[in-house]
Structure 1
Amino acid sequence: MSELSARALARFSADWESTLRGDRQEPPLLAGYLPDGRAVRLEVLTDLVRVDMRQRWRRAGLEKRVAEYRREFPEMGTSPAFADLVCEEYLARSRFRPLDVDSFTAEYPEVATEIRRRFTGETPPPPPPVLPEGIETGRRLDDFDLLTDLGGADYSRMFLARQRSMQRLVAVRVEAGADSDTVAQLDHQYIVRVFDQRLIADGSTGKPLRLLYMQYVPGGTAEGVLAQLRREAKAADNGGKPGGRMIHRTAPATNGLPDGGLLLRAIDSAMEAKGESRPSGSPVRTDIAALSWPETVAWVGRRLAEALEYGKRQGVLHHDIRPANVLFTAEGVPKLADFALGPMYWSTEFIGARSASANGAEALRYRSPEALRALLDSAAPSPGPASDIYSLGVVLWEMLTGSLPFDDPEAGTDAVPAMLARRMAGVPAAALDNLPPDTPATLRRVLLECLRPDASRRWQSGGQLAGQLDLCLDPDARDLIDPPAHSLWARLRSWPVPIAVLCVGLPNALASWYNIRINKSLIVDELSASDQYRFEQVALINNLAAFPVAALLLLWLARRPLTVSYRLGRGHEYTPDQLARARADTLLLGERVVWVPFALWLIAGIAWPLALAGAGARLPHTAFAHFFTAQVVCATIALAYPFFLIMVYSVRSLYPQLLARGSVGHEDRRQLAALARRSNFYLAAAASVPLLGVASVTFVSTDELGLVIVPLRILSVGGVLAFVVIYRLSRMLEADLGALVRAIPEAGH
């Protein structure tokens, strides 16, 4: 490429980038960049068409075919690179829909033979572009003095550089070619800030180069963290005697397991290699050092998930999450680099060129099943946000265990089918055995959800994943959401209906015993034999009517909390809307199942005496007062005690399963906080039970007091003891609700 062509191409590419940023309304027109002179004009035109076509086929509605360029510039048909341009069009078009080679070649008969030859497997893919010699430290490129080589590949290298015009240190990536993948410019605390890019021509060779300059992050990458993890694991296997100089330990590992200090040691090692000094008095580093290694991985993953959520809200997916693109600040804060745009990233052309390099081939190991399928099938849909979730899950798994979850063959285009098959089979048992023994069950579950073969069953956004990873940093919350498999609360999940019946039935049975004893002593024993018979008949009829109606009503009100949680534990799937309704109903379960018996007790306190009177029974004038006050005491028992019993069970066993499925947010936090406030009313009701029993004595004459003293004593003593139990349950419920609130991400995650 001549210097004139390189300058024209650099200017044209820069104007295209301006279009992408919104500074221009329409893409630049090729005619304005063509020089005079037939030979030079044809060379420049060919390069401009190549860049323009690639940019257009990355964006819906802007596509343009080679035939259209040829009609605009007839001389294109005589270009030596005409067949190359036609082949690029074929690759771009076949990416979106199946395209028959014979049908396509009919449109370009003059190069049909060449097209068939290239796409029948007889010709290897073209080699990737290579950086020219002399791109090294000490050199000045445009506005940048290259200071330190930070690594890279043949086609791209990263340097620490000084930007002269701004007098600041930046990281500059120098790439061969002027049509590299676009990188999004995003502004987020967990994303490496890309300042801008420049397209230049190398002064010695005239080849086009792209300079992408961005925020300098000195703490190395996740690759360095993995290397540190493997070194320390090897040293532990060798009796704790690693070779070479030891790096300062920020915090000792406990029980022989790595901890957060490992991350800091990896960062310090990377900074020391660049001549940087580690910061002192950093509260972030202090917090990291106190974490276990699984908690450290969750801490890092939560921030990277937030970065993905931000990118998604900006309409940008990453497409290339791997350890090399996870950078760390000096304090240990992770930042995600290289957000890529455009479906061309997944094209056969891209992987054919990049897989020739070690870095490009290694990147395949972190791709989702749908991303690998897109490489094999041009008709496959483009990977969505769940693809990035999968890739992040692979990276976090490798950080946690030191190895990838899949035993892949050597990466490359030929290995893609085998890699896809392994991922579709799910995480193997051998990989699960590699998890550290101190891995929380929550983190294990969250990562396995990330690595589901079916994209629709993974976390659907970075916000969901960030909220779930937050659980791993809160011992109370994570033990509540993911209790040990053989713990009491985990076992109770399998018996929701019997437990609910017991929670509601036992307090009501005790209330019934009290009611029967009081009514028998004060009312029934004072009636004639015929009126006692009428009382029994009315009681039988009322109970036969009330109990089935109450049971059916309670089961209907509790249907969603009791069935959804049970079926979730057996693999049934629900939509986010169904889960949201189930969560809301579960938090209302206690109130729904106590107000029905409460109302029935009060209704019975009025209906029974009226029914007896209507049946002809002659009741004492004090019977109505005795009967109703006893019913009020029983109604209060039925209101207060079952509420805490069933809500502690619901919050500990049922609700966490719903929360673990994600799609939670502000409304769930509000519902939990509202339940915490309302529970105070039921605590007060529990405290009032013995007081109401004592108050009911005021309706009993002195002569009758001896008849009810025993049940009243039992009620008073039992009510006090029951309140102690209920108070403990209320504090337990309050702590659980607080933990669940912490388990839900704040708005904006």
Structure 2
Amino acid sequence: MSEAQKKKEQSDIFAISRSDLAASTLNAPTKVEQVSISCSSQRFRPGERFNDFVILRELGRGGFATVYLAHDVTLDRRVALKVSETLGLGEGQALAELEHQNIVQVYGQFINVESGKHCLCLQYVPGVTLAHVIEHLHKNNRRPVQGIEILESITIDSNEEIPFDLAGIRNREILATYRFAAAICRISVQMAEALEFAHRRGVLHCDIKPANILINPYGRPLLADFNIAIDTQDVRARNHLGGTIGYMAPEHLGAYLKEPGFGVVDERSDLYSLGVVLYELLTGRMPFDKPATGDPRTDKLQLLQNQKSFSVSSCWVVQELPPVVERILRRCLDPEPTQRYQTAGELAGALANASDALAIEERLPSEGLLTAWVERNPFLALFLLTLLPQMIGSFVNIAYNTIEVRLDPPQHRAFEKIVLGYNLFVYPICLFIMFRLLRPIVRGWRRLSESAIMDGSEVDLLRFRVLKLGTWGIILALAGWLPGGLVFPIFIDVIAGGVSGEVYFHFLVSFTLSGLIAVIYSHFGIQFVVLRVFYPRLTNADTRTPTTLAAEMVGASRWLAVFQSLAAVIPLVGAVLLVVITGEMTLSFRLLVTCLIVLGMLGVGIAFSVTKKLTLLLRLLGSQKFNF
């Protein structure tokens, strides 16, 4: 049919007036269950009527039935009429039990007594199938980027009547602001929740595929076509399995082909099919190559073999997918049912967590070139932001000791030896510990960046190690600095003798002051890299819960408030001590006091700014934004 003919047919369809519809109700039968179809043809045309329904147009056809858009004259509403020789094993009864916002509702079922055809009266969903959305999104191999592209793919005729849905408007607004992967996860949550609802009522869909999922203009998906659904309590129904080959789970396909050695078809089989749909929606292609032998049974067996070897293959890894989504897909499509999500509710929770994490990551504040550089070079940034505060601490320590600690020549020579020995002992140990701490993190981060296969437990361990970097930074800095306050005067006293109590006091003050400055600012730097770069990309959707989030954020923020105060107080306390305990106001003394005061003032500004940014990161990362 040409495009002009299609447009003319559509205009004819919508030219049917309400007066025409009203006139067609004359002499209508009184019972819905026993009706006579007013036309004798196999296919209905616009304007034809039977019982209380007037055909508007054909919506689609499949191997079992034809679906029409019709007008219910009695209730003055549009419905979908599914007409077939049979309606499967109780499709109407199955749907009648499934009143859910993401499952197409059934209004009634009747049989035409003259033709014997079955008719199912269903909720009409203005919109398109998910198959249409996939085709539109990935046309010409393009890669969708924004969630709004999903909404743009839902093409609706300008004459279509779209019911007002306030919650739907909110859902549409959210999808429009999300990036593509986060939006897909949000939509998929609703599909998984619909499956969970059906499964809890003992219904397996058995034919989850894009063509059987409708999506309305608000971006809300609805499961449809339960024609081959089975009752989980009916053992005999499992002997009449059907479905669409490319979307069947291995055990489903094995049972369909009567191959021995496969487990039972259950809820996890539907989850596998949903995983295939999700993969196709995200990438525009199927996870398995289609066999091309020409022999139907050989093709099906080859597909089965592809599925069985799936878990040990890494060639399917999709570079453009966020790792958190990739891990969900891999678990959905595991050939072993025991390794998949065990319930649709569990999958829905993981998808919601992934959508949350991706949406939050998109909303993390960007501070320009510096943040971009840190994101590109996280380990170099981690090294520099850890080292720079140590250098500042060393400057304060050297300046303080030079001015305030007075040693005679033998003591000074002993001091120089101790400086060399102390640094040769402390620095290698601290660097070795840091190397041991960072090595597994570097390896894990490289694997993650290269889209290598990482399961959830590996991601959890990597995230745990990353979150501990701030604490380890405090421990190593204190271990390196604070002992010096006693080690130096004690060893000088042992080697050269004659060390006064005042010298002990000044060494304690200088090393404590320098050490705390190094600890505070290095912790700020470490936590910034951890929270801004590492943590957002280490989400495990299977274990992300409000409880774990709260615990991790509490741990990450434990020292921020204390260190913000100490950043200003420590240098000023040092300046005050100098003024109090020193009587001689030399030029170098005044310069040191001035430097400490200036450092304290800078510390206030820097600490306030950094703490504000870290607090914002913590609030964003610890939030649970997913809602309907």
Give your verdict on TM over 0.5. Answer: yes
Q: Is the 8 A contact 1:450 1:458 kept in 2?
A: no
- Corresponding letter in the other structure for 2:527: M
Is the Cα contact below 8 Å between 1:157 and 1:174 reproduced in 2? yes
Who is 2:125 aligned against?
217
1:157: how far off?
A: 4.2
Q: Does 1:522 align with 2:404?
A: yes
3-state SS of paired residue (1:618)? coil
Report what 2:546 is aligned to: 666
Q: Is the 8 A contact 2:564 2:611 kept in 1?
A: yes
Distance in 2 separating the partners of 1:441 and 1:572 = 13
Once the two structures are TM-superposed, the CA of residue 650 in structure 1 deviates from its matched residue by 1.8
Aligned equivalent of 1:155: 64
2:162 to 278, 298, 301: 278
Q: State the alpha-carbon separation in 2 of the partners of residues 490 and 350 from structure 1.
A: 51
Cα gap change, 1:444 to 1:508, in 2 (>3 Å): closer
Is contact 1:602–1:631 with CA below 8 Å preserved after alignment?
yes
Q: In the TM superposition, what whole-angstrom CA distance separates every residue of 1:199-243 from its partner, at most 9, and x where no partner exists? A: x77634678x5x76654433343345457669xx79xx9xxxxxx
Report the residue type matching 1:591 in the other structure: T
* Distance in 2 (alpha carbons) for counterparts of 1:538 and 1:427: 55
Q: Do the aligned partners of residues 549 and 299 (structure 1) sit closer, same or farther apart at CA in structure 2, a change above 3 Å counting?
A: closer
1:682-732 Cα deviation digits (max 9, x unpaired):
333333343234223234423264344444444544555566555554444
Q: Deviation per CA, 1:339-398: give whole Å up to 9, x if none.
A: 6446889978544xxxxxxxx6xx434445665455453423456777656644554565
- Asked if 1 retains the 8 angstrom alpha-carbon contact of 2:215 and 2:222, the reply is yes
Structure 1 match to 2:362: 476
User: Does the residue aligned with 1:379 lie in a helix, a strand or coil?
Assistant: coil
1:191 Cα deviation (Å)?
3.5
Q: 1:704 to 1:305 in 2, by over 3 A?
A: same
How has the CA–CA distance of structure 1 residues 427 and 685 changed in structure 2, closer, same or farther, with 3 Å as cutoff? same
**Whole-angstrom CA distance in 1 between matches of 2:295 and 2:166:** 40
The equivalent residue for 2:571 is 690
Amino acid at match of 1:690: P
1:364–1:411 contact (8 Å) kept in structure 2: no
Q: Is residue 307 of structure 1 aligned with residue 219 of structure 2?
A: no
CA deviation vs aligned residue, 1:626-660 (integer Å, no higher than 9, x gap): 22222232122122111121122222333234216
Matched-pair contact (CA < 8 Å) for 1:170–1:215: yes
2:102 to 182, 190, 215: 190
SS of structure 2 residue aligned to 1:622: helix
Q: 1:446 aligns with which of 325, 334, 351?
A: 325
SS for the counterpart of 1:268 is coil
SS of the aligned residue for 1:509 comes to helix
- State the distance in 2 between where 1:331 and 1:179 align: 32
Does structure 1 residue 268 correspond to structure 2 residue 156? yes
Q: Relative to structure 1, is the Cα distance of residues 304 and 319 closer, same or farther in structure 2, using a 3 angstrom cutoff?
A: farther
For 1:268, the aligned partner's letter is I
Of 429, 445, 449, the residue aligned with 1:565 is 445
Partner of 2:481: 601
Indicate whether 1:323 and 2:214 are aligned. no
**Aligned in 2, Cα 1:329/1:297: closer, same or farther, shift over 3 Å?**
farther
Asked if structure 2 preserves the Cα contact closer than 8 Å seen for 1:186 and 1:311, the reply is no
1:203 aligned onto 2:87: no
Maintained 8 Å contact 1:300/1:333: no
Counterparts of 1:107-186 in structure 2, within 5 Å, are 138-140=49-51, 150-153=59-62, 155-158=64-67, 171=80, 173=82, 176=86, 179=89, 183=94, 185-186=97-98
Decide whether the 8 Å contact of 2:137 with 2:153 is kept in 1: no
- State the alpha-carbon separation in 2 of the partners of residues 206 and 584 from structure 1: 65
Deviation string 1:601-644 (CA, Å, 9 cap, x unpaired) is 34443454455556672223422332222223212212211112
Distance 1:226 1:737, change over 3 A: same
Residue number in structure 1 paired with 2:224: 337
Picking from 625, 633, 637, the partner of 2:505 is: 625
Counterpart CA distance in 2 for 1:704 and 1:384 is: 85
* CA contact 2:210–2:277 (8 Å) conserved in 1: yes
Is contact 2:477-2:519 (8 Å) kept?
yes
CA distance in 1, matches of 2:432, 2:314: 44
Which residue of structure 1 lines up, in the alignment, with residue 471 of structure 2? 591
Alignment of 1:78-93 (within 5 A): none
Residue identity in the other structure for 2:377? L
Q: 1:590 offset after TM fit, Å?
A: 0.9
User: Distance between the aligned counterparts of 2:253 and 2:195, measured in 1?
Assistant: 22
3-state DSSP class of the match of 1:461?
helix
* 1:442 positional shift: 5.0
| Residue 386 of structure 2 corresponds to residue 504 of structure 1 | yes
Does the 8 Å CA contact 1:515/1:631 hold for their aligned counterparts?
yes
In the alignment, residue 156 of structure 2 is paired with which amino acid?
Answer: D
Instruction: Give how far 1:311 is off.
Output: 3.3
Is the CA contact (8 Å cut-off) linking 1:161 and 1:169 kept in structure 2?
Answer: yes
Cα distance change, pair 167–562 in 1 and its aligned pair in 2 (3 A): same
Looking at structure 2, the residues matched to 657 and 458 of structure 1 have their Cα atoms a distance apart, in angstroms, of: 23
The offset of 1:415, in angstroms, is 3.5
Pick closer, same or farther for the CA change 1:599–1:695 going to 2, 3 Å. farther
Instruction: Note the 1:548-559 alignment, pairs <5 A.
Output: 550-551=430-431
Structure 2 residues not aligned, in runs of 5+ = 1-39
Provide the C-alpha distance between the structure 1 equivalents of 2:269 and 2:625, rounded to a whole number of angstroms. 22
Alignment partners' CA distance in 1, 2:471 and 2:506? 27
1:464 to 342, 345, 350: 350
- Matched residue count: 558
Equivalent-residue separation in structure 1 for 2:501 and 2:427 (angstroms): 29
Could you state the TM-score of these two structures normalised by the residue count of structure 1?
0.59
Partner-residue secondary structure (3-state), 2:571: helix
CA-CA distance at 1:670 after TM superposition: 0.9
Cα 1:711/1:190, change in 2 over 3 Å = farther
* Distance in 1 of aligned mates of 2:541 and 2:165: 39
CA distance in 2, matches of 1:297, 1:346: 37
1:380 aligns to what SS in structure 2?
coil
Partners of 2:314 and 2:178 lie apart in 1 by 18
- Aligned partners of 1:294, 1:421: CA distance in 2, in Å? 37
CA distance in 1 between counterparts of 2:267 and 2:523 reads 42
CA distance in 2, matches of 1:555, 1:490: 21
In the superposition, relative to structure 1, how do residues 296 and 578 fare at CA in structure 2: closer, same or farther (>3 Å)? closer
Letter in 2 for 1:446: V
Partner of 2:299: 415
Counterpart contact for 2:168–2:219, Cα < 8 Å: yes
| Contact 1:172/1:213 (<8 A) preserved | yes
The 8 Å contact of residues 477 and 518 in structure 2, kept in 1 or not, is answered as: yes
1:299 shift after superposition: 2.8
1-structure distance, mates of 2:152, 2:221: 12
Structure 1 stretch 694-703 or stretch 167-176: which is displaced more? 167-176
**1:549–1:404 distance in 2 versus 1, CA, 3 Å:** closer
